[in-house]
A = this chain, B = another copy of it.
Amino acid sequence: MIKKPLKDIPLRRIHIRDRFWDRYIHLVKEVLIPYQWDILNDRLEGVETSHCIQNFKIAAGEASGDFEGAVFQDTDVAKWLEAVAYVLEASSDDDLETLADETINLIGRAQCEDGYLNTYFTIKDPSLRWTNLKEGHELYTAGHMIEAAVAYYEATGKREFLNIMESFADLICQIFGPEDGKCHGYPGHQEIELALVKLYRVTKKQKYVELAKYFIEQRGTGENYFLEEEKRPEYKQIFPEFTGYDTKYSQSHIPVREQKTAEGHAVRAVYMYCAMADLAQIYGDEELLEVCQTLWSDMVRRRMYITGSIGSSGLLERFTTDYDLPNNCNYSETCASIGLALFGKRMTQITKDASYMDVVERALYNTVLSGIALDGRSFFYVNPLEVWPDNCIERTSKEHVKAVRQTWFGVACCPPNISRTLASMGQYIYFTDEDTLYINLYISGTVSAELAEGSVEFEVKSDLTNSGHIEIDVVKQENSASYNLAFRIPDYVKKYTLLRDGKEQTGCRLEKGYLYIGNITEGETKIVIDFEVPARFVRANPKVREDAGRVALAKGPLVYCLEEVDNGANLPAVFVNCNQELHEKYEENLFGGVTTIALRGMRLTDEKWQDDALYGERENVFQEVELKAVPYHCWNNRGAGEMLVWMKEWM
């Protein structure tokens, strides 16, 4: 039976002060939010025009001109507002709040009388509303708007945005549903389902979660809605590349409960799985939870990169087939890893199984962070594991792979998604139930949690990515009853020690990846955990054809890579023997402080190929080389060059 889920701790109660994470968290407020604001207002030169705010002004009748941008352009402002909400919840900022309030007011003015809100259809042709669910992204856009409104309400207590979106949600409830006369469609890009659950949770209005359930249950049943919709006279195609639509692309090929493999567009898939997990929990739906577990398992056991990225096809950002994980032409969209983290978080909360958080941590520390440059001003959509800049060109099938982060994108889904994820990182770190505080990620800072018998406040000092040494100080405890702490023991930790006020603890209960420390009472002051996190060689299941005979380097949650700037060009010609000691070094001045790994390798030279021949009966001539690996997420912060995660192994 599905029990009460683990709860989030409000962001205002979590303060991150972490050597590894600070640079990223600070980026959100100091760089990303102002930078994105400038972009939304078309104030940045050399960056693709967003037109986002202008679209709202036009829709509000306060400016003239035509809609510009993608059909889901409104979501840029939604994700911006959601990130702003999380930032404001963590620390107030009057100027920023004023800016957000004004933006929300503009959104309200752009809303139609009946509650409808979408600048594309309002400006372009209101008669086309809901006629192209497959491509129109109206429900997707509404979903992001609702998420932002809920976040803003939770952060500030202000209802204006929530009211706007409730009114739109009410309209959507009138239009969609099982009843005769209503539209029996569902979103072409899932997102509103999880947003409606959030809206239900703050408003307690059952109809929102009912509609989310309807969208999920209706999907893939009977004649495919999107193929039927195409035949109607009012249907107008938006994306020519969707001709010959594959219903798997939007996970609408079969009913959701019958889906056993992760298929189609990866972001659509994981956003849908999030809603399925939410609904399984709310309705106590064991069957649906089992579907979630099956799909999760398919992803993380057969279709996920070591970096926690998913969607291995460069063509339409899709899942492909089991163990098909090419390293140099994958899509591995940053947003898909964000969705994977959102899904894994929910699964942990429902099942109290920390192994989901192993994957969440993998996705956040590697692919999500790879998505953003250390200066916060350029971004990767696509996160390859092997890059040779020379062939990431227009005339190969690798054009989608970029050898350098891009300043901004016309379809700007990833940058603002990274922004809202970093701003809400706190929600991945801790969960609570009545008497236990769960620590999932080891990120320094303070947290105060409300447990059943009172509140507690901790300070965490974590050096996870370097020494693995973690200290947890009880700062304040406002009750006399005892409570428990549950520490996630990461999958990569083979050995650890835990001291409780100086005494080593053994025999504690380890259940589904959480180590439970019971009976914490007033007066206890310190827990010290030492995770052994040496640099390690990791191999892939030999069924992953691309990685057979290769090894990757990792340390703690971080996957490492070789970069050309440290190791010269032609990284695929480098071989490493795994029977060697790895040398770690904390480099204060590299990427703002990072642990690098030194190792020895053998480089295949072209000594026997001085005649410039292409093929021949030549000997291999190797040269011993010193190699240096850096964390994957830091790659391409020192100019363009080759990068490689999976190194060839010297057998």
Q: What is A's interface to B at a CB cutoff of 8 Å?
A: 240, 246, 248, 300-302, 304, 306, 312-316, 318-322, 324, 329, 388, 390-391, 393-397, 399, 536-546, 548-549, 552, 570, 572-573, 575, 602, 604-606, 609, 612-618, 620, 648-651
**B651 x A650 contact (CB < 8 A):** yes
22 A–B pairs (Cβ distance < 8 Å), ordered by A: A240-B240, A246-B394, A315-B395, A315-B399, A320-B391, A321-B390, A321-B395, A321-B396, A329-B397, A538-B616, A539-B617, A539-B618, A540-B615, A541-B614, A542-B604, A543-B570, A543-B609, A548-B570, A548-B648, A549-B549, A549-B573, A549-B604
Tell me, in angstroms, the Cα distance from A320 to B390 when the chains sit together: 9
A320 touches B248 (CB 8 A): no
Least distance between A211 CB and chain B CB atoms (Å): 30
Q: Do residues A542 and B573 form an inter-chain contact, with CB atoms below 8 A?
A: yes
Are A395's CB and B313's CB within 8 A?
yes
For A391, what are the chain B residues with a Cβ–Cβ distance below 8 Å?
Answer: 320-321, 324
A294 and B371 alpha carbons, distance in the complex (Å): 42
CA gap between A301 and B610 in the complex, in Å: 12
CB distance from A10 to the nearest CB of B (A): 35
Residue of B nearest to A548 (CB): B573
Bound Cα distance A109, B572 (Å): 60
Total identical chains: 2
- Tell me if A540 and B614 are in contact (CB < 8 A): yes
- Chain B positions within 8 Å of A541 at CB level: 606, 609, 612-615
Give the chain B neighbours of A539 by CB distance below 8 A.
615-618, 620
Cα distance A552–B616 in the bound complex, in angstroms = 10
A548 to B538, CA, bound (A): 21
Task: Report the Cα distance A300→B616, complex, angstroms.
Answer: 13
Cα separation A464 to B319 with both chains bound (whole Å): 47
State A538–B316 Cα separation when bound (angstroms): 38
Neighbour of A572 across the interface among B548, B552, B604, CB < 8 A: B548
Given contacts A614-B301, A617-B536, contact A395 B606 (CB under 8 A): no
Residues of chain B contacted by A319 (CB below 8 angstroms):
395
Contact across chains for B605 and A315 when beta carbons are under 8 A apart: no
Do B395 and A248 touch across chains, with their CB atoms under 8 A apart? yes
Chain B hits for A537, CB < 8 A: 617
Kindly state the separation between the CA atoms of A616 and B300 in the bound complex, as whole angstroms.
13
Complex Cα gap A541–B605 (Å): 9
Q: In chain B, what residue has the closest Cβ to A619?
A: B539
Known contacts A313-B397, A321-B391: does B545 contact A304 (CB below 8 Å)?
A: no
Closest 7 CB pairs of A and B: A545-B572, A548-B573, A397-B397, A324-B391, A542-B604, A541-B609, A542-B573
Which B residues touch A606, using CB under 8 A?
541-543
Tell me if A614 and B396 are in contact (CB < 8 A).
no
Q: How far does the Cβ of A416 sit from chain B's closest Cβ, in whole Å?
A: 27
Min Cβ gap A262→B in Å is 12
Cross-chain contact B320 with A393 (CB below 8 angstroms): yes
Contact A609 B542 (CB under 8 A): yes
**How far is B612's CA from A300's CA once the two chains are assembled, in angstroms?**
10
Instruction: Assess whether B396 is in contact with A324, with CB atoms less than 8 Å apart.
Output: yes
Cβ 8 A contact of A542, one of B304, B312, B570:
B570
Separation of A314 and B300 alpha carbons in the complex (Å):
29
A50 CA to B393 CA in the complex, in Å? 36
* Separation of A604 and B651 alpha carbons in the complex (Å): 11
Given contacts A329-B329, A545-B388, A616-B538, contact A396 B575 (CB under 8 A): no
Given contact pairs A393-B321, A395-B248, A612 touches B301 in the complex (Cβ within 8 A): yes
Q: A314-B397, A541-B606, A552-B615 are in contact. List 18 more A-B contacts (CB 8 A).
A: A240-B240, A301-B612, A306-B615, A313-B396, A315-B399, A321-B396, A322-B390, A388-B545, A538-B615, A538-B617, A542-B605, A543-B606, A544-B614, A548-B573, A549-B549, A549-B573, A620-B651, A651-B651
Q: List, in ascending order, chain B residues with CB within 8 A of A552's CB.
A: 615
| Given A313-B397, A606-B541: A300 touches B620 (CB 8 Å cut-off) | no
A312 to B543, CA, bound (A): 26
In the complex, what residues of B have CB within 8 A of residue A538's CB?
Answer: 615-617
Question: Nearest B residue to A546 by beta-carbon distance?
Answer: B572
CB distance from A558 to the nearest CB of B (A): 14
Contacts A320-B391, A614-B544; A396 near B315 (Cβ below 8 A): yes
Q: Report the separation of the CA atoms of residues A648 and B550 in the bound assembly, to the nearest whole angstrom.
A: 11
A615: B residues at CB distance < 8 A: 306, 538-541, 552
- Asked if A320 contacts B617 (CB within 8 A), the reply is no
Which residues of chain B are within 8 angstroms of A542 by Cβ–Cβ distance?
570, 573, 604-606, 609
A248, B312: Cα distance in complex, Å: 29
Contacts A388-B545, A549-B604, A650-B651; is A395 near B614 (CB within 8 Å)? Answer: no
Docked Cα-Cα span, A544 to B388, in Å, equals: 11
State whether B396 touches A320 (Cβ < 8 A). yes
Complex contacts, A573 vs chain B, CB 8 Å: 542, 545, 548-549
- Chain B contacts of A649 at CB under 8 A? 620
Most buried by B among A612, A613, A651: A651
Closest CB of chain B to A80's CB: distance in Å?
Answer: 31
A240, A321, A397 pick with most chain B CB within 10 angstroms: A397
A541 to B618, CA, bound (A): 9
* Residue of B whose beta carbon sits closest to that of A609: B541
A111 to chain B, nearest CB (A): 37
Please report the C-alpha to C-alpha distance between residue A530 and residue B609 in the assembled complex, in whole angstroms: 28
Report yes or no: A395 in contact with B609, Cβ–Cβ below 8 A: no
A399 to chain B, nearest CB (A): 8
CB-CB under 8 A from A393, the residues of chain B are 320-321
State the CA gap A322–B537 with chains docked (Å).
Answer: 32
